[in-house]
Amino acid sequence: MNKFASSKIIFIKDQLYSIIYINKYPKSKKFINMKIKSKLSLILISILLTTLYACNNSESVNNDIDIDKVEVIKNIPSIHENNSLISNIKIELNSPAKLYIKYENTRAGKFKTQTTNEAKKLHDFAIMRLKPNSNYSYEIIVIDNNTIEKIIGKGEFTTGDLPEALKSIETVATGNFTPELLLSEIHIGPPLNLTESYMFMLDQDSEIVWYYLNKTMENHKPLMILAISQKEDYNLTFNLGSPFDYCCIREITPSGKTVDNLPSGPVDGVAHREHLLLDNNKILYSAYEYRKIDDTNISGNSNVPVAGFSLRIWDQASGLTTEVWNSFDSIGIENRHHWTEILDRWPQSGFYNRKLSVPELVKHVPWTSANSIQKASNGNYIISIPDLSQIISISEDFKQIFWRLGGKNSDFRFEDPTNKFYHQHTAQQLPNGNILLFDNGQHRPEEEGGTYSRALELTMNTYDRIANKVWEYVPEPKIYAPNRSSAYRLNNGNTLINFVNNPRTIVEVDENGNEIYKATMKTKTDQGSFRVYSISTINGETKIK
């Protein structure tokens, strides 16, 4: 449609006439009358014409931006009321324009925000990746459609102090990690006079440059933050809870605003520990499921309450969830690990959220759960089941288990028993087909090396059905992390590893096991942490080299 065109929609006796004026020549107007009898067609045409007019009008505004005439009327920086490391800059212009912000600190370096998507008069920037107690200067840059830029304003702001819980972390680091940022989480508890749960990001100086305080209260304490994922729009999704306090899967903006929440309950299940972002605004997640089984052959009881898990898909557009796979139906209850021991020592139902209304959970067997879900290049889902010390590959349609690795009924044997893994976390299939995992080593027999933890890479010979170790990293001295922890292969071939303990140890090693980066993070309190992830940006900002 011609950029000089405009349109008018009128109704006469239930008939629609669309008059399109073509202002190609200033003093000459030409119009076309279109008479439409179908009421449905009338509505569709009117919407189309109105949309075209809006688009053309928007393009006209953008093309006519004269950056030499754009001026700043208001330029107001402020620190976020709930976050000392986020600066909000409100900007008002005399005419619509596209902007971005350059900001810098002598010690931190120079950064730039994303350019706004549309030309407008009012802009509100959230500036992130900021060091605490630091002064930053910034420039307001206007840009036209030909990418011509001009500085039209300047300012300064000073960040605040870290919260006491994060200040209590004593970090000692050597070397530099290769990702832009590291994302992790921590739960601070007694004996400090506070109990708080946080997500946080470290820059390459091992300083916290972003955080999120989890304010969810359950039994007078916030719940532990577990698996975290970052969406394309930079929002963060995460599991929130612990083995004894259930909550939800939550989505927040980088500024900390909650935009979506999937609570645990009888319909959607008890979301636990892990989720995976899928296409079309869907999330695959693991959820506890409880059944009573006849266990007379093992324990002598005919009504044993058992906790297994299912895989469900949450469609965030509709809000509905659907079960797509179930461990009771697919694995078979005969596959067990430390069954009778756990039945004797597992906690009472008083630990559990009473809102779930599961009265049979006086004592139950934690038979299976999923602590990691990853999609392989062939479309299969790689699921880590720590209770069985087993990793399984499920077909993309969730109808078939392709293989089982580890545990009592493994499809692959280990010629060297020391290559077996125990109570593993973060299993992923690499592009070469190998499996990388964090081997916690819980219940590892003494003849196989006893209780120590490592990052382990296994190759699987599908012809001979043999699993062999091709790479491992064992710190010196050895560290035993009985629960949680993570190991991820980075794009450059290095491996990022998190040993959960107090102190926790974060290491990046190259393919030869050389330590590129090592940090210990210690607190004078009980703490819980889960994983460490590599992140390139918090809110679309980039570092200017």
pLDDT (tens digit per residue) in 32-64? 343 334 444 555 555 554 544 444 334 334 456
Beta bridge partners of 290: 307
Q: Tell me how far apart the alpha carbons of residues 267 and 111 are, in angstroms, rounded to a whole number.
A: 45
Dihedral angle computed from the Cα positions of residues 167, 169, 171 and 176, in that order, rounded to the nearest 10 degrees:
-80
Instruction: List pLDDT tens digits, range 337-349.
Output: 656 555 555 444 4
- Letter for the amino acid at 502? N
Q: Tell me how far apart the alpha carbons of residues 329 and 401 are, in angstroms, rounded to a whole number.
A: 12
Dihedral angle computed from the Cα positions of residues 69, 74, 75 and 78, in that order, rounded to the nearest 10 degrees:
-160
More confident site: 41 or 312? 312
* DSSP type of residue 148: -
pLDDT at residue 529 in the model = 87
Question: If you count DSSP H runs as helices and E runs as strands, how many of each does the chain have, helices first?
Answer: 4, 40
pLDDT at residue 3 in the model = 36
More confident site: 139 or 45? 139
Beta-sheet strands, E only, within 113-235: 120-127, 135-143, 149-158, 170-175, 181-188, 196-202, 208-214, 217-218, 221-222, 225-230
* DSSP type of residue 495: E
pLDDT tops 90 at residue 9: no
Q: Is 355 helix (H, G, I), strand (E, B) or coil?
A: helix
Which residue in 385, 358, 475, 487 sits closest to 434, CA to CA?
487
Encode burial over 227-243: b for 16+ CB neighbours within 10 A, e otherwise: bbbbeeebbbbbbbbbb
Please say whether the beta carbons of 205 and 250 come within 8 A.
no
Average pLDDT of the residues in 392-420 = 96
Please say whether the beta carbons of 425 and 438 come within 8 A.
yes
pLDDT tops 60 at residue 153: yes
Q: Tell me how far apart the alpha carbons of residues 397 and 277 are, in angstroms, rounded to a whole number.
A: 16
Beta-sheet strands, E only, within 45-180: 72-79, 87-105, 109-112, 120-127, 135-143, 149-158, 170-175
Domains of the chain, start order: 5-62 (no CATH), 72-158 (2.60.40.10), 164-544 (2.120.10.30)
More confident site: 354 or 157? 157
Q: Please calculate the CA angle 206-210-211 and round it to the nearest 5 degrees.
A: 110
pLDDT at residue 193 in the model = 65
Q: Is 43 helix (H, G, I), strand (E, B) or coil?
A: helix
Report residue 243's pLDDT band, with 50, 70 and 90 as the boundaries: low
> Sign of the C-alpha dihedral, residues 154, 158, 163, 169?
positive
Q: Tell me how far apart the alpha carbons of residues 95 and 382 are, in angstroms, rounded to a whole number.
A: 53
pLDDT at residue 60 in the model = 35
Beta bridge partners of 174: 518
- Letter for the amino acid at 453? S
Query: Token pair for residue 205?
Result: 């100086």
At 234, phi and psi to the nearest 5?
80, 0
Q: Tell me how far apart the alpha carbons of residues 104 and 90 are, in angstroms, rounded to a whole number.
A: 18
More confident site: 353 or 537? 537
Instruction: List pLDDT tens digits, range 156-188.
Output: 999 999 999 899 899 999 999 999 999 999 988
Q: Tell me how far apart the alpha carbons of residues 3 and 54 are, in angstroms, rounded to a whole number.
A: 11
More confident site: 262 or 333? 262
Report residue 300's pLDDT band, with 50, 70 and 90 as the boundaries: confident
Burial class for 329, CB neighbours closer than 10 Å (0-12, 13-18, 19+): exposed
Q: Tell me how far apart the alpha carbons of residues 130 and 152 are, in angstroms, rounded to a whole number.
A: 23
Which residue in 480, 418, 424, 425 sits closest to 451, CA to CA?
480
More confident site: 133 or 525? 133
Whether the ω angle into residue 503 lies within 30 degrees of 0, i.e. cis, is yes
Question: What distance separates the 2 farthest-apart alpha carbons in the chain?
Answer: 97
pLDDT mean across residues, the chain: 84
Average pLDDT of the residues in 465-492 = 96
Query: Token pair for residue 327?
Result: 């461990």
Which residues have a Cβ under 8 Å from the Cβ of 458 and sit 6 or more positions away?
405, 419, 434, 435, 437, 467, 468, 469, 470
Burial class for 105, CB neighbours closer than 10 Å (0-12, 13-18, 19+): middle
- Measured from the Cβ of residue 435, the count of other Cβ atoms closer than 10 Å reads 26
Least trusted range by pLDDT, from 60-69, 108-117, 414-423, 521-530 = 60-69
pLDDT at residue 280 in the model = 95
pLDDT tops 50 at residue 79: yes
Query: Token pair for residue 383?
Result: 């699921």
pTM of the model: 0.84
Which residue in 136, 144, 85 sits closest to 110, CA to CA?
136
| Sole residue written with tokens 């493994």 | 410
pLDDT tops 70 at residue 374: yes
